[in-house]
Amino acid sequence: MPSDNREFSLLRRVWNFIHKSPPSLVLIDPQCRRQPRHYFVQGGLATIGMFAVLLFVDSFSDAAVAAGLGASVFIIFVHPTSKSAAPRALLGGHFLALLVGSVFSLVLFAPLVSSILEGVGALRDLALAASVGAMIVLMAITDTEHPPAAGTVLGMSTRVFDPSIFAIIIGAVIVLAVIKRVLRRYLRDLI
């Protein structure tokens, strides 16, 4: 009998630790404990959304682009009311990233520039960083801030320009915007 009390006491301590810990130590979001269904439903919907995107993008050859689009899916399904999840930011951010990335691709893969950069990796890295910086400035100017588009600009800047990739990414982003629009009344902020 005494061992039962100790086990119960230990369970009570663990329970109190989990539920009465300071916010920085809490492992499970209190909002999730109140409405876990929203978390699982939106996780399932995000899976479907990412699957739709991956139908457009070959995730192995376009890893940076797929990562950027995956981060967009995260924002849309975890914080759908945020400014970054708005259609203007989603579409505009990725569109600007595609434009900036395409310009940098055309410059970086031009024969003369490519031969100069071939032996100097740090110079290529500086150019890629400049593509992200240029995209940030343009997004801020046009009020289309969408942080995941940094993956898109890097994905475009690191490859030879291909108009079909441009079209594929635009298509994937439009699909995401449509999915968000269709599901908007079911989506809740999870953060």
pLDDT for 72 equals: 95
pLDDT in tens, 76-95: 999 999 999 999 999 999 99
Burial class (CB in 10 A: 0-12, 13-18, 19+), 73: buried
- Would the pLDDT of 13 be above 80? no
- Would the pLDDT of 3 be above 80? no
Output the DSSP codes for 11-70: HHHHHHHHHHS-GGG-SS-HHHHH-HHHHHHHHHHHHHHHHHHHHHS-TTTTHHHHHHHH
**Which string of b and e fits 88-106 if b means at least 16 CB within 10 Å?**
ebbbbbbbbbbbbbbbbbe
d(CA 67, CA 117) in angstroms, rounded, equals: 26
pLDDT for 62 equals: 73
Say if residues 68 and 150 touch (Cβ distance below 8 Å): yes
Tokens 């579409």 identify what position?
Answer: 91
Please report which confidence band the pLDDT of residue 149 belongs to, taking 50, 70 and 90 as the band edges: very high
Q: DSSP letter at 117?
A: H
pLDDT in tens, 124-133: 889 999 999 9
pLDDT for 36 equals: 85
- Would the pLDDT of 41 be above 70? yes
